[in-house]
C-alpha cells in the first residue's frame, strides 16, 4: 500500500568544516535528513513530501534542486519573495562529535503555518497517512502556528493517519525550558510513535535513564516509543512491553551529525514494511552506523539494508504484520 508521508520542518544551508578555514556547502535539517534517508530506503513505494518555506535566491534554488534530486516532492514548499534560508556551521572533534553554530533568526521557515499562510496547506495535509515532525519543527514556529499544527495533527489522526515525532531538544532555540516542555508535551499527546534521544530528554527533564524517558512519554499516551542513546542500546517500548536493541559497533566515527535522523528513517521504513518495533530498531541502527562513518548530515549514498525478517534477526512469521495507524 502506497502511503502519503509529509515531513515538516526547516531545510537549511549546511557549512561543514573540512579544515579550520575550508568549508563545504550542503543542505540539511533534522526532518529533511530523515525524509532523504526514508526516500532512499523506500524508493518509489511511498510518496514523501517535504513541507517548509524557502526564499527565491540562488541558495534556495539549489536547496530545492537537492531535495527534488532525492525523489522528494516539493510541491508543498512555499516560496517567499524576500528573506533567506537558515544557515548552520558544523565542526567535529577527533571523536566525531559535532558542534553547531546557527544563523537562522531570519529564516523564512519561521513563517510556516503563520497568519500569511492560507488554509490550503492544512486541508491538503489533513488527508496524509503520516505526518513526521520534530521539536526543532516546533521551535521555529510562533505559538499560534504551533496551535494550528496541533489542530492539523488531530485531524490527521481522526482520519486514520499517524503522527511520528522526534522530540530533539536544542536549548538555544527556545526562550525558556518551560516553553520547550509545554510545546513538546502538547505534541506528544497527539503522537503515535515517539523517537526521542536520551541525552536531550535528560537535559530537559532530568530523566535518570532511557527507561525513565520511555515511561514518562508513555504516560502522555504515546503507544510506541524508541529512546535512542548514541552508541548504547536503544530502548523500545510498545504498550507495556520493553526491549533493548544494541547499536552496531563502529571502529572509526567521522561525524555523528544526522545519526539520529538516519536512525528514524531506518526505523520508520522498517515499520512501514511490517517489521515489529524491536527489529525495526535494528534497521535504524544499521543506517545510523553508515552515516556516522562519513562527514555531513546527508551522506552521498547508503548501502543496501535488507528489510527481510531473516536479515533483521527474526523469524519470517514475525515480520508479516502490516503498518497500522
The catalytic residue positions are 261
Measured between alpha carbons, how far is residue 138 from residues 135, 180, 209, 227, 228 in Å? 5, 9, 25, 19, 20
Alpha-carbon 235 to chain mean position? 18
Query: Torsion over CA of 51, 130, 88 and 231, rounded to 10 degrees?
Result: -170
Question: Which cell numbers in the block locate residue 230?
Answer: 548514541
**Measured distance CA(209)–CA(217) in Å, rounded:** 13
Q: Phi/psi zone of residue 266: left (φ > 0), alpha (ψ -120 to 50 degrees), beta?
A: alpha
**Measured distance CA(178)–CA(241) in Å, rounded:** 30
**Measured distance CA(182)–CA(57) in Å, rounded:** 35
**Measured distance CA(152)–CA(158) in Å, rounded:** 10
Measured between alpha carbons, how far is residue 61 from residues 7, 64, 85, 110, 300 in Å? 19, 5, 11, 18, 20
Alpha-carbon 154 to chain mean position? 19
Measured between alpha carbons, how far is residue 65 from residues 4, 68, 314 in Å? 21, 5, 39
Yes or no: say if 243 and 278 are a contact pair by the CB < 8 Å rule. yes
Total residues belonging to the chain: 325
Antiparallel, parallel or unpaired: β 130-134 and 4-8: parallel
What DSSP string describes 34-83?
Answer: HHHHHHHHHTTSSEEEEE-EE-SSHHHHHHHHHHHHTT-B-TT-EE-SS-
Amino acid at each position: 500500500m502506497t502511503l502519503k508521508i509529509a515531513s515538516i520542518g526547516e531545510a537549511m544551508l549546511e557549512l561543514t568544516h573540512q579544515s579550520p578555514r575550508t568549508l563545504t556547502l550542503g543542505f540539511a535539517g533534522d526532518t529533511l535528513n530523515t525524509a532523504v534517508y526514508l526516500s532512499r530506503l523506500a524508493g518509489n513505494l511511498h510518496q514523501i513530501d517535504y513541507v517548509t518555506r524557502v526564499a527565491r535566491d540562488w541558495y534556495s534554488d539549489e536547496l530545492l534542486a537537492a531535495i527534488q534530486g532525492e525523489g522528494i516532492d516539493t510541491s508543498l514548499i512555499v516560496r517567499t519573495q524576500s528573506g533567506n534560508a537558515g544557515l548552520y556551521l558544523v565542526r567535529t572533534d577527533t571523536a566525531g562529535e559535532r558542534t553547531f553554530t546557527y544563523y537562522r533568526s531570519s529564516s523564512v521557515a519561521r513563517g510556516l503555518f503563520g497568519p500569511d499562510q492560507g488554509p490550503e496547506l492544512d486541508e491538503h495535509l489533513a488527508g496524509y497517512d503520516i505526518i513526521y515532525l520534530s521539536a526543532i519543527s516546533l521551535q521555529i514556529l510562533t505559538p499560534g502556528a504551533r496551535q494550528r499544527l496541533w489542530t492539523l495533527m488531530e485531524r490527521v489522526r481522526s482520519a486514520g493517519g499517524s503522527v511520528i515525532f522526534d522530540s530533539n531538544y536544542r536549548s538555544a532555540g527556545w526562550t525558556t525550558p518551560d516553553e520547550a516542555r509545554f510545546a513538546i508535551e502538547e505534541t506528544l499527546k497527539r503522537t503515535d510513535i515517539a523517537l526521542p534521544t536520551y541525552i536531550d530528554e535528560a537535559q530537559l527533564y532530568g530523566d535518570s535513564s532511557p527507561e525513565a524517558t520511555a515511561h514518562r512519554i508513555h504516560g502522555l499516551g504515546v503507544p510506541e516509543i524508541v529512546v535512542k542513546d548514541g552508541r548504547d542500546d536503544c530502548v523500545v517500548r510498545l504498550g507495556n512491553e520493553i526491549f533493548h536493541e544494541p547499536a552496531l559497533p563502529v571502529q572509526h566515527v567521522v561525524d555523528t551529525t544526522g545519526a539520529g535522523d538516519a536512525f528514524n528513517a531506518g526505523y520508520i521504513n522498517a515499520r512501514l514494511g511490517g517489521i515489529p518495533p524491536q527489529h525495526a530498531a535494528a534497521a535504524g541502527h544499521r543506517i545510523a552506523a553508515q552515516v556516522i562513518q562519513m562527514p555531513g548530515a546527508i551522506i552521498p549514498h547508503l548501502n543496501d539494508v535488507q528489510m527481510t525478517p531473516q536479515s533483521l534477526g527474526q523469524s519470517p512469521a514475525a515480520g508479516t504484520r502490516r503498518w497500522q495507524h
